[in-house]
Amino acid sequence: MLVRKNVWELGGDWADPILWYARAVGALKPKPISDRTSWRFWAGMHGYNQGLWEFYGYKAAKEKLPAKADFDEFWQQCQHGSWYFLPWHRGYLIGFEKLIRATVVSLKGPADWTLPYWNYFKSGQNGLPPAFGSPDWPDGKGNNPLFVEQRWGPDPKKPGKVFVPLNAVNLDAMGIHEFTGVASGGDRGFGGVDTGFEHGGTKHGDIESQPHDQVHGLVGGEKMFPKASPRPLPGLMSAPDTAGLDPIFWLHHANIDRLWQSWRLSDHRNTDPEESSWKKGPASHGKHQFVVPLPDGSPWVYTPQQMSDFAGVGYTYSDFSPAGTPLAAVASATAAPSGAATMAKSTGAAVEVVGVSAKALAVAGNGAQTSVPVEPQMHAKVASKMATTAAPGAREERVFLNLENVRGYSDATVLQVYVHFAGKDGTPSAERQVGSIGLFGITKATETDAGHTGGGLSYALNITKPYQEFAGSANVDLANIGVRLEAVAPVQQSAEVSVGRISIVRQGD
Amino acid sequence: MSAASASCGKATDGSTMTPAAYERLQIRIPLAIAAAAAWAAAALSHERKLVAFCSSDVWTAISLDQFALAITFSSPASLAGEWMLMVAAMMMPMLAGAVGHVRARSLPRRRKRSLALFVIGYCAIWGACGIPIVLAMLTLRLMQLSPVVTIALVGSLILIWQFSPAKQLCLNRCHDQPPLAAHGIAADLAALGYGVTQAIWCCGTCWALMLVPLMAQDGHLFAMAATSAYLIAERLDPPRRPAWEIRWPSTIVRLLWFRLSLWRRSDNAGRVRA
Ligand SMILES: [Cu+2]
């Protein structure tokens, strides 16, 4: 069995698997873009942006793209803001790992090479693995193919110092038991919303919203190039159209892929969708099928159903604990037969708006803040539901903060989100962090008429806990529930980042 | 994938529904009922030959006298009624996204009010659009052109619009889901305004093809249904960059092809087991 291992625990910065990865990447990078087994062809399968690719030197102005048939079949397939996010990326990784392994073998390397994963949550491992951060090979010679110049990290004052700030990411998604959720403002589910026919791709699922999006932006960062653009330009990892060009992309996604299986192992309720529209993929909606080339160039078509069968995918991970500490709940995975104990589907659960601030909130510099007025009747409803224990089979009351129609041109931006409940008499109360949002994909979602509607992205953050703390208090000023966004790195004015609407929404029976 | 596991998967298919699909259904069922009612009413009125601009003979152009006669039988008010009925029947099935957006973004106590305002704004624009469209049709008839010329004229107008960047721009905007205010007069204006803008993009998307049922005489209802199906199919395609290009609804073709191949496979599997 092929085992994907922790990149920080391979036994040295330049342990064999990393060295062979570097050699293979070095062999694939010079191949023509149009070659199905080239480095850049694989990046283009995730996304492509002519301006950025040419500006960063990943494509010469005169260089030919893949022929139209190949372009249409393979390129720009990445699934975001959809319940296909996890299965599409799993197949993409499998195809990529096969290509690297075949290349390693052709360079006389080991036939059991596997893609390492980067578990930034494990203690002491949130830094970029050193082999990726050095422009040199271990012998001190330059030209290390794992090194990427356009990987600036979370702090613009220290470009190139790459790490994942742990206060900006969390594993809250692992506690969600439904794979798919609602599009109307409640929980989107671990894997994302059933995008059906109205495929918008603007509502990222829980594991995609956190930590996937943040890690992209925090690692890639952004930089000003005043001569090229008034707006900041994203690091390769920060935008979907360039992310696949960075060798660290694959280690990040291996971790997300690992978390999918961790989630399934951690609780018997955590199961993949049974709907045939998920299992058979977007082809069942008349949309593009999932397809990647094999090392010999022939196309391999795969479905979410195949990706969901973990025993059949041909690899496993050395460790399934999300943060590197043992899984507590593994035992319960076998306690109940799967299927028999499926949860009551949340189909009957109502999603209702509790309060709205509809003034667009511009986000620049260190952040922005506003307040959301809450409807007294709706608040009373939430408070009373929270005060009583839910009847058996009923859904517990949950409250979400929705950041809707978030638009702008800074994919690297990560915003810490805080809520705070003030007293009527002006007594301030403690502010609570309720998570963070990463604007990965925001530029594409903002542009109109380029295959998107231009309405921006929207986010739903669970604020049940802080809301519950104050729900019963008669002193809370319902007209002023504070929401504060704090940028991890300063947001450029020219990036025009704004939140179109902020709402508080309840979900329950 | 073996036949056994495929059939095993099939047993569970359809028995479950995702929360998002359930939400969509909650919008689609009332819309479907309303659309069905509009279709029934359109069929009935067609039966009674009340729709002057629908049922009068476009192929043998009418004279001014006949036009006057037609007008006496159907007042501008009933003409307008018939037009709106046609709009309701054909547009309602495509409003699920926008109606769902209004519902989800409104405070519960304001939902009905916001939905009503959305519909009022939407209908106002379609009503206004009906005036030039219907007048153009009547003018065309008064000109007493030969059927071939009429078809060529209207046909090329439709084709030019269908392949224009303006048409694609309108189609892209039909998917808009802007932020909506939720309190007070601002909420009312937001719902009304969203109805108005949706109708503008919708008119821009559909007006040319709406000429097809308006022109058809014998097969008026059939032409309405076929046009309606085409308009729905068009909207399944994802937004794309507006340009002059020959376009046809490709998603629906792939969807039908996929369903057909599934059906053929399951048919074969059934035979093997039997
Ligand atoms: Cu990603």
Gap between the Cα atoms of A253 and A127, Å rounded? 16
- pTM across the whole model: 0.89
Gap between the Cα atoms of B166 and B123, Å rounded? 22
Which of B9, B97, B258 shows the shortest C-beta gap to A279? B9
Provide the percentage of residues in chain A whose pLDDT is more than 70.
94
Least Cα separation, residue A434 to chain B (angstroms): 22
Q: Would you say A191 and A181 are in contact if contact means Cβ atoms under 8 Å apart?
A: no
Cβ-defined contact of B258 to A450 (cutoff 8 Å): no
CA of A212 to the centre of ligand 1 (A): 6
Q: pLDDT tens digits, residue range A298-350? A: 999 999 999 999 999 999 999 999 988 765 544 343 334 333 334 444 455 68
Lowest-confidence region among A187-201, B44-58, B198-212: B44-58
Q: What is the pLDDT of residue A9?
A: 96
Q: Would you say B43 and B97 are in contact if contact means Cβ atoms under 8 Å apart?
A: no
- Does residue A13 have a pLDDT over 80? yes
If you average pLDDT over residues A31-45, what whole number do you get? 96
Cα–Cα distance list, A46 to A175, A378, A465 (Å): 29, 43, 37
Lowest-confidence region among A70-84, A254-268, A439-453, B58-72: B58-72
* Residue written as token pair 């018939």: B82
Gap between the Cα atoms of A174 and A266, Å rounded? 8
If you average pLDDT over residues B161-188, what whole number do you get? 91
- Residue B269's pLDDT band, with cuts at 50, 70 and 90, is very low
- Please name which of A82, A116, A115 lies closest in space to residue A97, comparing C-alpha atoms: A115
Q: What is the pLDDT of residue A287?
A: 80
Q: Would you say A188 and A178 are in contact if contact means Cβ atoms under 8 Å apart?
A: no
Cα-only R_g, chain B: 22
Q: Would you say A6 and A115 are in contact if contact means Cβ atoms under 8 Å apart?
A: no
Q: What is the pLDDT of residue A482?
A: 92
Identity at A452, one-letter amino acid code = H
Q: What is the pLDDT of residue B12?
A: 39
Tokens of A459: 């986010």
Which residues are A356's β-sheet partners? A503
Neighbour tally for B25: CB within 10 Å = 13
- Does residue B71 have a pLDDT over 60? no
Q: pLDDT tens digits, residue range B8-30? A: 333 333 447 888 888 888 899 99
Which of A182, A356, A501 shows the shortest C-beta gap to B19? A182
Q: pLDDT tens digits, residue range A285-310? A: 778 889 999 999 999 999 999 999 99
Which among B8, B10, B16, B18 is the top mutation candidate for probing chain A, defined by the most A β-carbons within 10 Å of its own β-carbon?
B18
Q: What is the pLDDT of residue A199?
A: 56
| Complex prediction ipTM | 0.89
Judge whether A349 is closer than 8 Å to chain B, CB to CB.
yes
Pairing mode, strands A2-4 and A315-317: parallel
Summary mean pLDDT of chain A:
90
Q: What is the pLDDT of residue B147?
A: 79
Q: pLDDT tens digits, residue range A173-199? A: 999 999 999 999 999 999 999 987 655
Gap between the Cα atoms of A419 and A461, Å rounded? 11
Neighbour tally for A31: CB within 10 Å = 14
Lowest-confidence region among A418-422, B121-125, B138-142: B138-142
Which of B12, B100, B181 shows the shortest C-beta gap to A358? B181
Cβ-defined contact of A375 to B175 (cutoff 8 Å): no
Q: What is the pLDDT of residue B15?
A: 47
Cβ-defined contact of B23 to A284 (cutoff 8 Å): no
Q: What is the pLDDT of residue B50?
A: 43
Q: What is the pLDDT of residue A165?
A: 95
If you average pLDDT over residues B159-167, what whole number do you get? 92
